[in-house]
Structure 1
Amino acid sequence: MIDKELVFKAQDESLVVISTGVANTLLSYRQISNSSHESAGVLIGERRDVHIVIKNLSEPSRWDIRSRFKVDRVSKHHQKVVDNAFKNSNGTLQYLGEWHTHPEDVPNPSMTDYTSWHKNLKSELPLILIIAGRTHFWVGKKIQDKIEVLKQI
């Protein structure tokens, strides 16, 4: 369990802050056992100038397709979570990116991850990508067609 926010820094000095609640929810989906399936969802939060604060996320739904090494968010559940957060915050909270798990201690994106992100994530604004491993998080920032790995501070 994590008792403080996690902070990651980009090369341009911008910060990505992951709230304690979000970090702990991500930890709850770690693929600890050999039978654990991948999990995935979307990230929700605020843009504060060049900084990003992740305050919420969508969790897997029963309609998502999940296996040991693959996950596909097929339900409208995730979009509804974003829509409700946006509405209930008067537009303050918004979609910020995606998260999923990997069955490894220190996760790294696969070629499938990179291909999917480049094909499906289009935005003029930076998007955050998180992979929750068993012991560490991988956090990236996608700006246009470039993905930068962020450093935890």
Structure 2
Amino acid sequence: MHFMNSWATADRQTLLHFSVPTMNTFRQYVQDRDNACEAGGILLGTVHGTHMLIEQATAPTARDRRFRTFFERLPFGHKEVADSRWAATQGTVRYLGEWHTHPEDHPRPSGLDRAEWSILAAQRLDKRPMLAVIVGRKSLYVELVPCSGVGSILACIC
């Protein structure tokens, strides 16, 4: 399985790059079996102007709610990782957004996904767009969701 790891907005004003460890986490949870449950976590990384380097995707915890077509990330475990990385890097590595899987080749967000992303984006204290990623079996869906809730779909740099 090979996912593209560099993405850009249509105007190329924002570039994203997913690190190898981040991509490995995504690959580990691809729903490639009929009984595989959705998985997800948070995305951590650094900001360089309008660009982002996604350095880590947290893995689902035992407390997260995982079903075939539903994932609910609970704060336990994910928040501690984010707080630890923030402190260890003096605020350089920060929360960038959310990721989860879908049991489809080329994923698209559901209404519930969009509603949750809008809520999370509006809660960002720094008012930066929230990164939302859905991991499918063959491709990723990547979107930047500003605090207004209306997102920008990113295209892979091929």
Calculate the TM-score normalised by the size of structure 2.
Answer: 0.91
> 2-side partners of 1:135 and 1:37: how far apart?
16
- AA matched with 1:91: G
Q: CA deviation at 1:61?
A: 0.3
- Does residue 78 (structure 1) correspond to residue 82 (structure 2)? The answer is no
Letter in 1 for 2:153: V
Matching residue of 1:64: 64
The 5 Å alignment of 1:48-63 reads 48-63=48-63
Query: Is structure 2 residue 99 aligned with structure 1 residue 95?
Result: no
Structure 2: how far apart are the matches of 1:79 and 1:67? 22
Shift of 1:97: 0.3
1-side partners of 2:98 and 2:37: how far apart? 17
Q: Distance in 1 between matches of 2:98 and 2:29?
A: 14
Per the TM alignment, residue 86 of structure 1 is displaced from its structure 2 partner at its CA by 0.7
Aligned length: 152
**Percent of aligned pairs sharing the same letter:** 31
- Where has structure 1 moved over 6 Å in runs of 4 or more? none
Unaligned runs of 5+ in 1: none
Residues 97-136 of structure 1 mapped to structure 2, 5 A cutoff = 97-122=97-122, 123=124, 124-136=127-139
CA distance in structure 1 between the aligned counterparts of 2:86 and 2:119, rounded to whole angstroms: 25
TM-score for the superposition, normalised by structure 1: 0.94
Residue 119 of structure 1 deviates from its aligned partner by 2.4
Residue 151, structure 1, aligned to residue 155, structure 2: yes
In structure 2, what is the equivalent of residue 38 of structure 1? 38
